[in-house]
Amino acid sequence: MTRKMDVSALVCDILETGAYCVRKCSREDQQKFYQYTTFHRTLCVDYEEDLEPHIPCLKNVAKDSDAICKDKCHNGHKIEKTDEEEKKTKVGCVALECSTICYFQEFVAECPDAEDALLKLNIGQIHSIAQTIHPISYERMPQECRNVHDTDHMKKKLLGID
């Protein structure tokens, strides 16, 4: 195991300990822990074996990808304080879709061997979130938000198939 893998293992061990400890906390604190450490479930639990061989490459690309995607997706889709709630929701969903696609494409451009693992991770996360949405809530969502929760739509977007 390389030093980089040791760091990943250390992070997973720390987060695993935190996940165990947080079970004793209030429901609100548990939700915050899991919200702030979503990468724990992604990297250390659900997709660890798929991602592990690609971690060194992905780490090298992460900082540049972050700057590129933040500029492209958040600066390009600004929410103004004066915007109505529906517009804020739509813009937020468009920015989320943009970010998801941008990060995937940036990572795959620099780490092409990681494409299958990254596609599996993204579609898996989209699917697991979509399963938590009640059908009536889904129907009431603006189309921009339905798109983000639609695995077929997002898979096509991630792969550049339109």
41 in the same domain as 60: no
Query: pLDDT by residue (tens digit) across 12-57?
Result: 777 778 878 888 988 888 777 776 676 566 667 777 788 888 988 9
Nearest-CA neighbor of 103 among 78, 70, 55?
70
145 in the same domain as 87: yes
Q: What pLDDT score was predicted for residue 150?
A: 95
18 in the same domain as 67: no
58 in the same domain as 40: no
Q: Could you give the CA distance from residue 156 to residue 101 in angstroms, rounded to a whole number?
A: 10
Structure letter (DSSP) for residue 1: -
Query: pLDDT by residue (tens digit) across 129-149?
Result: 888 888 999 999 999 999 999
Reported confidence tier of residue 2, pLDDT bands at 50, 70, 90: very low
123 in the same domain as 68: yes
Query: pLDDT by residue (tens digit) across 89-113?
Result: 888 889 999 999 999 999 999 999 9
Q: What pLDDT score was predicted for residue 22?
A: 84
- The predicted model gives 66-80 an average pLDDT of 81
Domain tally, the chain: 2
60 in the same domain as 31: no
Q: What pLDDT score was predicted for residue 52?
A: 83
Distances (CA, A) of 68 to 39, 94, 119: 20, 16, 20
102 in the same domain as 30: no
What are 19's two structure tokens?
A: 């996940």
The residue written with tokens 């579609």 in the block is: 123
- In terms of residue numbers, what domain contains 12? 1-46
13 in the same domain as 74: no
Cβ pair 121, 42 in contact under 8 A: yes
Cβ pair 126, 132 in contact under 8 A: no
6 in the same domain as 61: no
66 in the same domain as 30: no
Q: Is the dihedral of CA 140, 142, 145, 146 positive or negative?
A: positive
Q: What pLDDT score was predicted for residue 1?
A: 42
As a whole number, the mean pLDDT across the chain is: 83
100 in the same domain as 20: no
